[in-house]
């Protein structure tokens, strides 16, 4: 079978930035065995396109207004689509990677990835395998080796980041100061850190909490 008669890999590009969509479309169009099945600026638009036409692989941005990449992955799993997904993002915190994989991503690439690696990843993932660069794989392994924090512990972590004491946390959550202290100690143990300050620092670095607001 010649290269010309080989079925092309149909790709759906999902990113809220028009320059990124145009750049990816232009770059991938130079490959004779790849075909752009469509472009979407949001998760909602991507799911609508998937309903109307087939795509072998989706290049999916992680952070978009409205339905973000994680929500899109979760929604895609509820459909009958066999489209495989590579997350393509600027973000590489442990939690971003972990949540993407948990939601069903088959690969994870940074937007700084070279054209050669991206094309190799597309072929790998569309062929039924997974693709995680060594650095991403190492961060994923590190995240999966830790005990998961509970929703309450994450809530308390955010309060710790705001500088609240155990007594203040207890008052805000209507629990005793001793119970708050026990939660804080559990957080410190799960994150394998020495104290509250290091726990907050690690949590921010790994994307466990968002202090941008």
Residues 93-131: tens digit of each pLDDT: 888 999 999 999 999 999 999 999 999 999 999 999 999
Q: How confident is the model at residue 198 (pLDDT cuts 50, 70, 90)?
A: very high
134 part of a folded domain: yes
Whether residue 96 is found in the same domain as residue 192:
no
Answer with the one of 125, 144, 163 that is the final residue of a domain.
144
213 part of a folded domain: no
Average pLDDT, the chain: 91
Answer with the one of 144, 169, 195 that is the final residue of a domain.
144
- Separation of alpha carbons 156 and 184, rounded Å: 7
Whether residue 27 is found in the same domain as residue 131:
yes
Whether residue 38 is found in the same domain as residue 64:
yes
Whether residue 140 is found in the same domain as residue 164:
no
Buried b (16+ CB within 10 A) or exposed e, 2-28: eeeeeeebbbbbbbbeeebbeebeeeb
Q: Cβ of 90: how many Cβ atoms within 10 Å?
A: 12
Q: What is the pLDDT of residues 63-76, one digit of tens each?
A: 999 899 999 999 99
Whether residue 66 is found in the same domain as residue 164:
no
Whether residue 108 is found in the same domain as residue 195:
no
Structural element, H or E, at residue 75: helix 69-77
pLDDT of residue 5: 54
Answer with the one of 129, 144, 159 that is the final residue of a domain.
144
pLDDT of residue 158: 93
Q: What is the pLDDT of residues 128-161, one digit of tens each?
A: 999 999 999 988 887 776 667 888 999 999 999 9
Q: For the chain, give the longest Cα–Cα distance.
A: 72
87 part of a folded domain: yes
Listed in sequence order, the DSSP H helices in the chain are 18-28, 43-52, 69-77, 94-103, 115-126, 134-144, 151-161, 166-173, 177-190, 196-205
Q: How confident is the model at residue 2 (pLDDT cuts 50, 70, 90)?
A: very low
pLDDT of residue 107: 97
CATH classification of the domain holding 74? 3.40.50.2300
Domain count, the chain: 2
- The pair of structure tokens assigned to 102 is 């948990």
Per the structure, the complete domain to which residue 103 belongs is given by 3-144
Strand, helix or coil at 60? Answer: strand
Whether residue 133 is found in the same domain as residue 68:
yes
Structural element, H or E, at residue 178: helix 177-190
Q: How confident is the model at residue 213 (pLDDT cuts 50, 70, 90)?
A: low
107 part of a folded domain: yes
pLDDT of residue 3: 46
100 part of a folded domain: yes
The length of the chain, given as a count of residues: 213
CATH classification of the domain holding 167? 1.10.10.10
- The pair of structure tokens assigned to 187 is 């957080």
Whether residue 165 is found in the same domain as residue 137:
no
212 part of a folded domain: no
Sequence-separated (6 or more) residues with CB below 8 Å from residue 29: 36
- Separation of alpha carbons 195 and 185, rounded Å: 9
pLDDT of residue 1: 40
Q: What is the pLDDT of residues 29-64, one digit of tens each?
A: 999 999 999 999 999 999 999 998 889 999 999 999
Above 60 in pLDDT, residue 4?
no
Whether residue 138 is found in the same domain as residue 155:
no
pLDDT of residue 193: 87
Cβ pair 42, 65 in contact under 8 A: yes
Q: Is the dihedral of CA 96, 98, 101, 107 positive or negative?
A: positive
**Is this model's pTM higher than 0.85 or not?**
no
């Amino acid at each position: 079978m010649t290269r010309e008669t080989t079925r092309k890999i149909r790709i759906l590009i999902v990113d809220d930035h028009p320059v990124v969509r145009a750049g990816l479309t232009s770059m991938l169009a130079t490959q004779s065995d790849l075909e752009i099945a469509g472009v979407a600026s949001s998760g909602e638009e991507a799911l609508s396109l998937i309903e109307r036409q087939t795509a072998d692989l989706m290049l999916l941005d992680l952070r978009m207004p409205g339905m973000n990449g994680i929500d899109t992955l979760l929604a895609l799993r509820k459909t009958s689509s066999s489209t495989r997904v590579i997350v393509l993002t600027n973000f590489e915190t442990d939690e971003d990677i972990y949540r993407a994989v948990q939601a069903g991503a088959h690969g994870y690439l940074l937007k700084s990835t070279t054209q050669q690696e991206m094309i190799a990843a597309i072929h790998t993932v569309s062929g039924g395998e997974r693709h995680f660069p060594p650095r991403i794989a190492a961060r994923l392994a590190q995240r999966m080796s830790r005990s998961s924090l509970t929703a309450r512990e994450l809530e308390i972590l955010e309060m710790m980041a705001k500088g609240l004491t155990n007594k203040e946390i207890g008052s805000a959550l209507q629990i005793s100061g001793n119970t708050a202290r026990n939660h804080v100690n559990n957080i410190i143990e799960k994150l394998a850190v020495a104290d509250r300050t290091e726990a907050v620092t690690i949590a921010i670095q790994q994307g466990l909490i968002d202090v941008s607001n």
